[in-house]
Structures are given as structure tokens and as C-alpha cells.
Structure 1
Amino acid sequence: MKTVNVSLQVLPVVEEERIYPVVDKVIEYIDSCGVKYEVGAMETTMEGDLDKLLEIVKKAHEICVEEGAARVVSVVKIDYKPEGVTMNEKTYKYKK
């Protein structure tokens, strides 16, 4: 499959002071996976093979639970087109 973009926002149900540390664990995991990604204020966008990125989404939920979340609510967005799509083609003109 061609390159796709998957954006993930995880909202672990933990005490307020634990939200960022849990999300940090998810971002550390994404970083360890070797996929291109960008952390934004509201979500992290990844680029790569859809199956691999969906496995990362699944593991992100497991990490939240391992870190004490009683529940995890997520927003996942997928940008797919047959010839592939990159983050750069959508954002290059805004980068300084």
C-alpha cells in the first residue's frame, strides 16, 4: 500500500496531572517505531504504511491502559489516496 497519513489524538482517562505524562509515553513509543511523525498541539500525525500505523494506534491504547488509564478515547484521522500522500505535500508552504 502507498504512503498514508494517520493522525492520532489519545485522551487517556487519568487524573488531570497525569494526562501529559501518559501522552508522552505514547509519543515515545511512536518515536521508537521509525515512522515519520509530527507532534502538534492537539494530535500527532504519522506517515507510512496503513497497517503499521494502525498497529501503532492499537498499541497507543494499550500503553495508556498500562499507565493507569481506566479508559481511552481517541480521535483517528486517515488521509489515503491511491498514489500515496505525504505530510510534506500538504504543509511545505507553511514551514519556515
Structure 2
Amino acid sequence: MHQHTINASIQLLPIVQDRHPYDWVDEAIAVIQQSGIKHEVGPFATVIEGGYDEVMKVIHDVNEKLFELGCNEWITSVQIQIRSNGPITGDEKTAKFQ
């Protein structure tokens, strides 16, 4: 896969009763923040942006962290936008609304 900039939306839905679901979401956001990848936390999902491998690694790392911490069950919803001939950025898509 090319290494042009892509962007993705990642949403975590913990299916748990041992902790408040937001606690698990906070753990996922911490992984994203620590990755150093460009990101924007939203009320329903977090948008991340970087090279293909970098974005996929962050998605993987979020799931690995929840597993390591003992989250019993969760759904990870991901949307990825890829442009084959060049970068696609969130700013490009939202600039007219800023």
C-alpha cells in the first residue's frame, strides 16, 4: 500500500459492566495521543491521519491495549479513506466549514 496520507475514523463501543464505558474509551484515546499521530477527538469517534501503515498500527494498538487491560468485549468501528494517487486529509474535507 502507498504511504500517502490517509485518514480514518475510529469509534470504540465497550460492551462491559465492570467499568463505565467511557473509562475504556479514555484508555483508547490515550493510546492514540501517545502515538503522536495527528488526531481529533470527537464526541462519537476520533479521526486519525497519517501514512497507511501508521494509521493501521494505531488501530491495532488500541485493540491490543484494551485486550491487555482486560476489557471483556468491545466493538471497534473504523472508516478509512484512501486516495490512490495522493494524500487525502481531514483539512481538505472540512476547510470550507472552518
Task: Give deviations 1:47-67, integer Å, cap 9, x for gaps.
Answer: 001111111111111222233
1:12–1:64 CA contact under 8 A, matched in 2: no
Equivalent residues, number = 95
Which range is displaced more, 48-57 or 65-74? 65-74
Structure 1 distance, partners of 2:53, 2:4, is 11
What 5-or-longer segments of structure 1 have no aligned partner? Answer: none
Q: Percent of aligned positions with the same letter in both sequences?
A: 33
TM-score, normalised with respect to structure 2: 0.87
1:27 is matched with 29
Q: Secondary structure at the match of 1:26?
A: helix
Cα displacement (A) at 1:37: 0.4
Structure 2 distance, partners of 1:14, 1:67, is 13
RMSD across aligned positions (CA): 1.5
1:66 is matched with 68
1:89 is matched with 92
